[in-house]
């Protein structure tokens, strides 16, 4: 009930359903009337009315306080989200570092700690499990659930195996990002073994942060993609050598996902008169893979120019990579061809076999690699001999050209051979279209040396 004044002279001084801020004025009016000798019954009526007013106003006051508290929490969340959005745009540091260094991530949902897996690194802040295995278990659990926002107030009940890996964690909330990137918040149990449940506002706040991080990752990804593409283009040969009696062509395509990988190709004339043909594939994507590719390509070129054989050049590269790139892995195929005879020697580390296309369109596969990739192999095999007939072609490629998810590699090899059914002069763009899965998550390289085309 809300007090109001009335303009009807025959009515009481007050009526119901008008603003409560008139209560003070009503009381003052009745006090004045009482001092003027009004009926004591009127004063009793006022006392009863004001008592009812106070009782009715009390729950309304609590409601106003609750609304004010909610508005305060929302204002705080918006302020924290603004800070996190700005921090996530700082491309001078990894995303995980950007959003954890100032503590805003924990404050957003009042968590004890947070773990971020983004851009191939894990960053954490606050009270989180110190054990790497426990952090990985929490990150993988959120990623495996697969929902945009995942939360539980009782990890032991909802994911007992994960809880066993991270015994100091009671409740978990996380957001999922592309490529199994994850942000996880944790709360430790209190003295009674429980932790505060995640509120609706906190879950909504996590979802809002996910939107900011998705946008940030997109911006960062576009920047890295441009940088990687420019780096890779600068490292691949601008022109392929002209060799009497031969023609050399190459094709390179980035992954269907838009990511640039570590594929490279090379062709160069050597002091010996032979021609070196190379295709390699560094594990991974992005700037790091492209940079590694550039270092390997340069080191191999030096070995090929100064060395006397494919075996010697690859052995020099293996030893160089062992000391300068100890954690990098790459497959590699090196062929040295004598342009006059078509005879060649081949060394391969973990790379798919070369293909010789005969003048009539029939094909012959080179030997499979007998050693694992560079970075894993402890020795380099001896060179294998092969021959490119007059009118034939030698085909080198990366696995991104032939591999398809859930399919035997033999089917991919057969598909590549069929793509050259019309003979060595088959159009390379057509070969790539026929052999490759356009949705492949790997980049693809094709290098073809045709004999008798000049």
* pLDDT tens over the chain, length 454 residues: 333 333 433 333 333 333 344 444 444 554 555 455 545 555 555 455 445 544 544 444 444 444 445 467 778 888 888 888 888 888 888 899 999 988 889 999 999 999 999 988 899 999 999 899 999 999 999 999 989 999 999 999 999 999 999 999 999 999 999 889 999 999 998 888 888 899 999 999 999 999 889 888 877 766 665 666 666 666 677 789 999 999 999 998 877 555 666 888 999 999 999 999 999 999 887 767 777 888 899 899 999 999 889 999 999 999 999 999 888 999 999 999 999 999 999 999 999 999 999 999 999 999 998 899 999 999 999 999 999 999 999 999 999 999 888 889 999 999 999 999 999 999 999 999 999 987 777 889 999 999 985 5
Question: How far apart are the C-alpha atoms of 13 and 15, rounded to whole Å?
Answer: 7
What pLDDT is stored for residue 440 in this prediction?
78
Question: How far apart are the C-alpha atoms of 58 and 52, rounded to whole Å?
Answer: 10
What pLDDT is stored for residue 18 in this prediction?
39
Query: For residues 148 and 213, is the Cβ–Cβ distance under 8 A?
Result: no
Looking at domain 89-227, which of 2.40.30.10, 3.40.50.300, 3.30.450.270, 3.40.50.2000 is its CATH number?
A: 3.30.450.270
Q: Output the pTM of the full model.
A: 0.56
What pLDDT is stored for residue 59 in this prediction?
46
Query: For residues 362 and 393, is the Cβ–Cβ distance under 8 A?
Result: no
Q: Which two tokens stand for residue 368?
A: 């499979």
The H-assigned helical ranges of 198-274 are 200-235
What pLDDT is stored for residue 20 in this prediction?
44
For 340, counting Cβ atoms within 10 Å of its Cβ (0-12 exposed, 13-18 middle, 19+ buried), the class is exposed
Burial 379-410 (b: 16+ CB within 10 A, else e): ebbebbebebbebbbbbbbbbbbbbeeeeeee
Per-domain residue ranges for the chain?
Answer: 3-80, 89-227, 237-451
What pLDDT is stored for residue 231 in this prediction?
61
What pLDDT is stored for residue 237 in this prediction?
78
CATH superfamily of domain region 237-451: PPM-type phosphatase domain (3.60.40.10)
Q: Quick check: helix, strand or coil at residue 231? A: helix
């Amino acid at each position: 009930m809300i007090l109001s004044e009335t303009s009807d002279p025959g009515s009481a001084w007050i009526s119901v359903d008008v603003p409560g801020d008139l209560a003070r004025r009503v009381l003052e009016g009745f006090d004045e009337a009482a001092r003027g000798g009004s009926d004591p019954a009127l004063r009793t009526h006022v006392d009863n009315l004001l008592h009812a007013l106070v009782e009715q106003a009390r729950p309304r006051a609590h409601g106003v306080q609750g609304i004010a508290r909610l508005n305060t929490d929302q204002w705080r969340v918006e302020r924290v989200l603004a800070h996190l959005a700005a921090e996530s745009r700082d491309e001078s540091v990894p995303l995980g570092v950007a959003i954890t260094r100032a503590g805003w991530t924990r404050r957003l949902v009042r968590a004890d700690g947070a773990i971020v897996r983004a851009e191939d690194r894990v960053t954490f802040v606050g009270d989180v499990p110190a054990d790497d295995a426990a952090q990985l278990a929490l990150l993988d659990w959120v990623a495996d659930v697969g929902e945009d926002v995942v939360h539980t107030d009782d990890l032991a009940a909802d994911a007992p195996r994960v809880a066993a890996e991270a015994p100091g964690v009671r409740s978990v909330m996380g957001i999922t990002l592309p490529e199994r990137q994850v942000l996880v918040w944790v709360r430790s149990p209190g003295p009674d073994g429980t932790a505060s449940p995640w509120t609706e506002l906190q879950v909504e706040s996590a979802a809002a942060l996910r939107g900011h991080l998705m946008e940030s990752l997109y911006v960062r990804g576009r920047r890295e993609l441009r940088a990687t593409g420019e780096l890779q283009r600068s490292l691949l040969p601008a022109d392929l050598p002209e060799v009497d009696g031969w023609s050399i062509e190459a094709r390179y395509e980035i992954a269907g996902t838009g990511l640039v990988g570590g594929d490279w190709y090379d062709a160069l004339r050597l002091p010996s008169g032979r021609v070196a043909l190379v295709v390699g594939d560094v594990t991974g994507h992005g700037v790091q893979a492209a940079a590694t590719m550039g270092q390997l390509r340069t080191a191999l070129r030096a070995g090929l120019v100064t060395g006397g054989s494919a075996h010697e050049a690859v052995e020099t590269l293996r030893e160089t990579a062992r000391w300068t790139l100890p954690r990098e892995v790459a497959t590699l195929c090196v062929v040295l061809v004598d342009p006059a005879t078509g005879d060649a020697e081949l060394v391969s580390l973990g790379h798919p076999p070369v293909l010789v296309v005969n003048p009539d369109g029939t094909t012959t596969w080179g030997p499979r690699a007998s050693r694992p990739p560079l970075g894993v192999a402890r020795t380099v095999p001896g060179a294998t001999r092969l021959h490119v007939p007059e009118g034939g072609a030698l085909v080198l490629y990366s696995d991104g050209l032939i591999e398809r998810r859930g399919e035997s590699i033999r089917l991919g090899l057969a598909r590549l051979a069929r793509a050259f059914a019309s003979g060595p002069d088959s159009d390379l763009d057509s070969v790539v279209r026929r052999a490759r899965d356009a949705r492949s998550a790997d980049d693809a390289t094709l290098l073809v040396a045709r004999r008798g085309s000049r």
